[in-house]
Amino acid sequence: MIVGQPGSGKSTLARALGDITGLPVVHIDRIHWQSGWIERSKAEKTRLCLDAEAGERWVFEGGHSVTWPSRLARADLLVWLDRPMGLRLWRVLKRAVTQLGRTRPDMADGCPERLRSLPEFVHYIVTTARSQRRKIGRLAQSATCPFRRLVSDADAAALVEELRLQFATKSV
> Using 50, 70 and 90 to split pLDDT, how confident is the model at 171?
low
What number of other Cβ atoms are within 10 A of residue 49's Cβ? 23
Mean pLDDT of 6-15: 96
Domain extent at residue 49: 2-165
Residue 171 lies in a domain: no
> Is the predicted pLDDT of residue 82 greater than 90, yes or no?
yes
Residue 75 lies in a domain: yes
> Is the predicted pLDDT of residue 172 greater than 60, yes or no?
no
What is the count of structural domains for the chain?
1
Residue 170 lies in a domain: no
DSSP-based three-state secondary structure for 111: coil
Residue 172 lies in a domain: no
Residue 108 lies in a domain: yes
Give me the residues paired with residue 148 across strands: 79
> Is the predicted pLDDT of residue 96 greater than 50, yes or no?
yes
Residue 100 lies in a domain: yes
CATH code of 126's domain? 3.40.50.300
Q: Mean pLDDT for the chain?
A: 94
Where do runs of H (alpha helix) occur along 38-116?
42-53, 68-74, 85-98
Give me the residues paired with residue 26 across strands: 60
